[in-house]
């Protein structure tokens, strides 16, 4: 009879622990990156005996209730939700973000008194640049690891907040220098010097009186200082630029800056997509097609592409690729220990596979989203009802066994 009570009490204790797990799952229903857990039950040892004393007799097997083996984590991917923060990342695949944090951060109730750092792993990619410029997880404060210069390390945005200027070295123009006109001007040509400052140039085109396919070019800056003298371009009989005479180069050195060689191009020989030399009543007309100078720019947006590479957009229109997020994968996910802030610790000595997004099973990065908890509320309520009924049934067994013991004691008292 006492074994009956013991078995029933073990059931009540097990169902109580199961309720703890379910309540934690439900509490973290909206926690990004949270992975739901379930309690693993196992039956306890058995008492054996052979009835009848014959070789083919029935074996009496009476168990001693249940025990909890531990919790099993579900690593099923949760729903991805838009956040509006371009630095938030979700992993559409099996990889984990790698964070480096202070070991003093590992206790929910205070510091451990230790020192140093440790690597932890998460699916909750709520990233941002901290006050020190280091890419970090906003929730735990851990620093996100990236691959940069061939090694895995932390990264800082400080040196990337501005994009350096690029001096103009090429100007491409289009239009038509009419065979019937003698001069034309191209004004308002913006170029960038080596310091990132913009300047406005103008060019004067004059036809060679002896040959309408030959044109001379002079140029001045906004201060009316000569920057180009005696430049010459030529055209073929069909009106397209001539080979070897379709560009003019000059040195541009405003103020005390070093000179930059700028090449003015009118298009490829035989092509009609640049400047042409066609006859007709129309006047000559020229315009700038492009110039490759860029002023200095400040950072306006930072996000990640699907390969986990940081994409930096600047006010000058430039987009620069930065380092890539480092991801990890484990063969035995159940060996990971869950800690606060949806972080996992690898404290069993398992060697993870390290790489970047789009490699193997790592998956791709989805920027501007976070992975929600993978807890299904319907399933949790179903399990909750089962545990409640199991607990009630076990308590009923205890009550019945107690009544039977009391009846036995009453018999002894009557005698």
* Each residue's pLDDT tens digit, 355-414: 999 988 999 999 999 999 999 988 888 888 887 787 777 777 777 777 777 777 777 666
Mean pLDDT of 58-63: 60
Q: Which domains does the chain have, with CATH numbers?
A: 2-74+374-414 (no CATH), 80-163+299-371 (no CATH), 170-291 (2.60.98.20)
Average pLDDT rounded to a whole number, residues 202-230: 95
Average pLDDT, the chain: 87
Q: How confident is the model at residue 46 (pLDDT cuts 50, 70, 90)?
A: low
Confidence at 246, pLDDT banded by 50, 70, 90 = very high
| Sole residue written with tokens 């074996």 | 59
284 burial via Cβ count (<10 Å: 0-12, 13-18, 19+) = buried
What does the pLDDT read at residue 42? 62
Task: Give the residue, 72 or 85, on which the prediction is more confident.
Answer: 85
Q: How confident is the model at residue 67 (pLDDT cuts 50, 70, 90)?
A: low
DSSP element (H, E) containing 203: strand 198-208
Query: What's the pLDDT score for residue 378?
Result: 86
pLDDT for the residue numbered 1: 60
CA 8 from centroid of its chain's CA atoms? 50
pLDDT tens digits along 126-173: 999 999 999 999 999 999 999 998 899 999 999 999 999 999 999 999
In this prediction, what percent of the chain has a pLDDT beyond 70? 86
User: Averaged over 320-347, what is the pLDDT?
Assistant: 94
Q: Element (H or E) spanning 218, and its range?
A: strand 211-220
Whether 167 and 143 have beta carbons less than 8 Å apart is answered as no
Residues 6+ apart with CB under 8 A from 14: 39, 41, 65, 66, 67, 68
Q: What are the pLDDT digits (tens) for 247-275?
A: 999 999 998 899 999 999 999 999 999 99
Instruction: Report the pLDDT value the prediction gives residue 319, as an integer from 0 to 100.
Output: 96
Tokens representing 42 are: 């196992």
pLDDT of 383:
80
CA 102 vs. chain centroid, Å, equals 22
- Residue 45 pLDDT > 60: no
pLDDT, tens digit, 9 for 90 and up, residues 265-311: 999 999 999 999 988 667 899 999 999 999 999 999 999 999 999 99
State mean pLDDT over 47-69.
58
Q: CA-CA-CA-CA torsion for 190, 195, 196, 201, nearest 10 degrees?
A: 0
Q: What is the pLDDT of residue 78?
A: 93
């Amino acid at each position: 009879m006492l074994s009956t009570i013991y078995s029933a009490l073990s059931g009540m204790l097990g169902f109580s622990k199961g309720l703890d797990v379910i309540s934690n799952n439900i509490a973290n229903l909206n926690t990004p990156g949270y992975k739901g857990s379930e309690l693993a039950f196992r039956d306890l040892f058995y008492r054996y005996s052979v009835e009848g004393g014959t070789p083919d007799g029935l074996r009496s097997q009476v168990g001693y209730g249940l025990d909890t083996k531990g919790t099993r984590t579900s690593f099923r991917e949760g729903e991805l939700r838009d956040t509006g923060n371009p630095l938030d990342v979700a992993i559409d695949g099996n990889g984990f973000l790698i964070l480096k944090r202070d070991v003093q951060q590992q206790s929910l109730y205070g510091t451990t008194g230790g020192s140093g750092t440790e690597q932890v792993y998460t699916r909750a990619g709520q990233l941002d640049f901290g006050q020190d410029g280091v890419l970090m997880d906003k929730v735990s404060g851990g620093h996100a690891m990236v691959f940069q210069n061939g090694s895995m390390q932390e990264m800082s945005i400080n040196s990337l907040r501005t994009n350096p200027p690029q001096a103009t070295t090429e100007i491409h123009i289009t239009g038509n220098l009419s065979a019937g006109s003698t001069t034309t001007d191209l004004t308002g040509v913006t170029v960038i010097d080596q310091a990132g400052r913009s300047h406005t140039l103008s060019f004067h085109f004059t036809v060679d009186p002896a040959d309408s396919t030959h044109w001379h070019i002079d140029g001045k800056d906004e201060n009316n200082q000569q920057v180009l003298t005696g430049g010459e371009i030529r055209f073929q009989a069909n009106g397209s630029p001539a080979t070897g005479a379709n560009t003019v180069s000059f040195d541009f050195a405003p103020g005390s800056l070093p000179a930059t060689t700028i090449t003015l191009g009118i298009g490829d020989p035989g092509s009609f997509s640049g400047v042409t030399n066609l006859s007709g009543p129309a006047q000559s007309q020229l315009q700038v097609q492009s110039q490759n100078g860029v002023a200095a720019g400040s950072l306006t947006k930072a996000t990640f592409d699907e390969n986990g590479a940081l994409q930096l957009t600047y006010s000058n229109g430039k987009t620069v690729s930065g380092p890539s997020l480092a991801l990890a994968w484990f063969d035995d996910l159940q060996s990971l220990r869950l800690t606060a802030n949806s972080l996992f610790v690898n404290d069993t000595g398992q060697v993870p596979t390290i790489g970047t997004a789009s490699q193997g099973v790592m998956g791709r990065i989805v920027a501007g989203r976070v992975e929600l908890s993978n807890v299904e509320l319907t399933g949790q309520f179903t399990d909750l009802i089962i545990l409640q009924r199991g607990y009630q049934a076990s308590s009923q067994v205890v009550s019945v066994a107690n009544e039977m013991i009391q009846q036995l004691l009453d018999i002894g008292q009557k005698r």
